[in-house]
Amino acid sequence: MSSEVTAPRLRTEPSIAHLDADAFFASVEQAQRPSLRGRPVLVGGTGPRGVVAAASYEARAMGVRSAMSMASARRACPQATVVVPRFDAYSAYSERIMAALRERTDAVEPLSIDEAFADLGAARPGADGWPGVARDLRERAVELAGVPVSVGMGRSKLVAKLASAAAKPAGVVVVAPEDEDGFLLPMPVRSLWGVGPVSAERLEKIGVRTVEDLRGQPLDTLTMVLGEAAGTNLFRVARGWDDRPVAETRERKSAGAEHTFERDLHGRAEVAAQLPAVADQAYARLERHGGAARTVTVKVRFAGFSTVTRAVSLPSPTADRAALHEAAARALDLVELTEPVRLLGVAYSGLSEHAQLMLDLAGPVALAGAIDLAGAGSSTAPDGTGADDPDALRPVARRRRGRLRLEDAAPGLDVRHPAHGRGWVVKARDDGRVAVRFETAATGPGRQIVLDPATEEIELVGALGPDGAELPDAGGPGEAAP
């Protein structure tokens, strides 16, 4: 049956590049805070249920990984510095990285904030060939952004992405067509797109552990084990058959937000009370992209970690806040709340640039408050349970501008002091004072000073960009953390 799948016509040169920033969030923190260079850094939520968004290589050496609970990460690497994410800074650095690609070609396909494909087929390699092109690209990205990146190149997206992974950290790997088998075949099958834990377990049962093992399986065996679509895809991938072009634009498919609560929500009333805050955070993201949505999906994760989603579709795309909130409420009504709830999410999809005007006949929607996606902003009772505090369940957006208050003092936030200059919050102390390290990329490592925000003029300020200039306020609640 394998003859039913024909080989596509592939490029003859390794002209597809995949550029990937290394430990991106943590690398930006180390670039801007000299005292963190060479030290383990964790970026993520600081609350009881916070998770690691990024870990520096120094932290990874201690066994820390992205998506690990922050509590587990701190146990594995107690010496790590923990900071909340600053997406304004990361976005500015991302623009510089993408600019290095766009200097060379218009065919750039961003995959996320820190990685992208580029079609360099129009490039004319010099004496160093394609490896020289890859090195020049990496050096230019580092020059513009000041953070480490890795570059992989091959004649397909598949090989280019695997090559950039092999190049980490801060390296270059170019796989020529004649070298593809030597590169691909020894790889673990888990390294391939489309092979997750379930697929890997099924493949393990038929003796498939490497790409070479996978290539040795007939098509009918793979479709029987994995299904028609997945089996056919892996049959092709095992042979390096990937003729997908680099898409110059990627359409945004959804805008959403979710929040993990510091204690579980009990009963429909508690869950419903928090829904407007999450819906409003999702709406803020939708609004920033200037679009409208037709489908509203509510995600509920229970205390036992089972997850349920329910969706409501509108007659036409809309950007009307009240209409989208009302649809979210209807979607939540479809969820059977049989257990306490630990996470609530809202996503708007079916996006369109055009919205049909919808009249607000029900009046304004009251909002429960903004959302702190860092998992660190909820007030709790002295025993940490939040049981006696009516606001313990209310997500709170950390302020990013104005005078620093103790409750705003999340580690990693940018501040300015009239005498000491710019710095960043290291930690809020139990005595009501705040430890601040005064330094920037331009100053070199700075000293840490403990200040009382009640008496000292400590101002929350915007992050600095790669050029050292302060970034404008992005605005919108919940920009404090992911």
Note the helical H segments in 34-191.
Answer: 57-60, 70-76, 87-102, 129-145, 157-167, 180-184
Question: Which helix (H) or strand (E) segment is 52 a member of?
Answer: strand 52-55
d(CA 296, CA 255): 10
Question: Token match 């795309």: residue?
Answer: 317
Closest CA to 147 of 109, 93, 80, 101: 93
Eight-class DSSP state of 81:
E
Structural contact between residues 119 and 246, judged by C-beta atoms closer than 8 angstroms: yes
- Interatomic CA distance for residues 329 and 272, integer angstroms: 7
Tokens coding 30? 């180390």
8 A C-beta contact, residue 146 and residue 99:
no
Sign of CA dihedral 154, 158, 160, 163: negative
- Cβ atoms of 478 and 369 closer than 8 Å: no
Which residue blocks in 402-463 are alpha helix, DSSP H? none
Within 10 Å of residue 192's Cβ, how many Cβ atoms?
Answer: 19
Q: In the chain, what is the greatest distance between 2 CA atoms, to the nearest angstrom?
A: 77
For the annotated catalytic residues, the residue numbers are 115
CA 171 to CA 148: how far, in whole Å? 9
Regarding beta strands 459-460 and 414-417, do their DSSP bridges make them parallel or antiparallel, or are they unpaired? antiparallel
Helix/strand/coil for 327: helix
Question: What is the chain's percent helix, strand, coil content, to nearest 5?
Answer: 30, 25, 45
How far apart are the C-alpha atoms of 92 and 113, rounded to whole Å? 10
Cα separation, 457 vs 18, whole angstroms: 46
